Structure 1
Amino acid sequence: MKLLYARTSPYVRKVMVVAHETGQAEAIERVPVIATPTERNPETARHNPLGKVPTLITGDGTALFDSRVICEYLDVRSSGPRLFPEGEARWDALTRHALADGLLDAALLLRYERVMRPTPARWDAWEAGQIAKIGGALDRMEATLTRDAGEVDIGTVAAGCALGYLDFRFPDLAWRTGRPAATAWYAAFSQRPSMVRTTPDAAST
């Protein structure tokens, strides 16, 4: 398998955390590509018409995207414990997964606004709207991240990667303030080997 990836993408990190947790990281060849919202990378677009990372190319040449699809594909291939539970627990895990991805969607839009948009064209109301979404997602996480940090499913993996991205790109948002449960949970969860190996500055990412 080949993974088209960008080192700092939190969605790529989520895929690689799942790969480590399911024992498949060594089976994935990582191919770095440049991905921006303003320029389509021809190599990426050849496999994924959206031009986004992560894109996984399977052994038979099939291209899978986006991160949600890739994570579930890796989970189905796993012979060990499953990160996508069955039964009623599945809907809870998928909802927490969607919450974390929604936080990341808002965070990426905020970063593009701050870093890529020319200063005269920046829209304060747009930035405030994304920050409000991030804050709402964090408040829901504070209410739901009460489980033991040793419990791993796709919802906790996504939450860990989302909180890690806030640390990486948005220390000014101080997401820990007023959120002791999420703070304690992340302090423990971020020490998992899969999380340590996939930090943006880790050599294995």
Structure 2
Amino acid sequence: MRNPMSLLFGSIPSPPFQELVLGPLHFRMYGLCIALGVLASVTLARHRWAARGGDPEDITTVALVAVPAGLIGARLYHVITDWPDLYSDGRWWPNAFLVWKGGLGIPGGVLLGALAAIFMARRMKMDWKLMADAAAPALPIAQAIGRLGNYFNQELYGRPTGLPWGLQVENPPLRYPVETLFHPTFLYEGLWNLALAGLI
């Protein structure tokens, strides 16, 4: 049964859709959130790099390598860490490649993306430490925006809650009543990332 506070002040509704449909084209909101996060982070890094006297196009060149590497690293991390639960039944192919359904491990993305960025910066004779300083707040910005994708995918929510900002889940775990509200942990992390970007 819902907490009276949530009944009084409402809750976060479940998303009305998971795809943006434009004629024959279907765009998963999860993927759009990831893309928007990448675009925002690259734009911020370009601006900060230019403020340090660098050519913003250098950041774009680095991003063209670092972003795909980061996505590969994030997916690899997810597949490896979730292998026993999601992929060990022999159906890992092609399930391991269905990125638009969710499943990106941030530690793997940051690690492989950072290594690729440093490699490219050194190859381009850039000061990679200065570049890292310019790009530092861009990472949590991308993470904050990308976390919205978890909302549309109805994933990464927490335990049941009676707080007014509890999240409605369309298909909650079977052990919970349909009207149960859950902690929107993806929202907490998104706000934490915005605060971190502000501090940096």
Question: Which interval holds the TM-score relative to the shorter structure?
Answer: 0.3 to 0.5
Structure exhibiting the larger radius of gyration computed from Cα positions: 2
Instruction: State the TM-score, normalizing by the size of structure 2.
Output: 0.33
Instruction: State the TM-score, normalizing by the size of structure 1.
Output: 0.32
